[in-house]
Structure formats: C-alpha cells, structure tokens
Amino acid sequence: MSKFDKVRMAELVKVEETADALVLTFQGDLRVTMRVADGGIVSEVS
C-alpha cells in the first residue's frame, strides 16, 4: 500500500496554512504538504 493509499483511507484531523504551503494532517500522524511550484502543485506525503 502506498502512502497516497493511506491518505485516501485516513481521517483529516487538522489543516494548517503556512507562508508557502498548505499542510493537511490526518489520523496516525500522516501529513501531506502541498506547495505551488514549477507551474503546478507539488504534494509531499510524510
């Protein structure tokens, strides 16, 4: 199962907006950081 599959099944707990990103925190301490870069949106799962 990929990290993105885990995000699909997890419950959203918190949304934070930073100066350059939107950070979504899901149950189980799974975080998705989304930034605008390279003419699109770059997502990082950690």
Sign, Cα dihedral of 9, 14, 4, 1: negative
Residue-wise pLDDT tens digits, 9-32:
778 899 999 999 999 998 888 899
Decide: 27 and 10 in contact? Cβ < 8 Å.
Answer: yes
More confident residue, 7 or 10: 10
Contacts of 25 (CB under 8 A, 6+ apart): 12, 13, 14, 15, 16, 31
State residue 46's pLDDT score: 86
Decide: 27 and 38 in contact? Cβ < 8 Å.
Answer: no
pTM of the model: 0.70
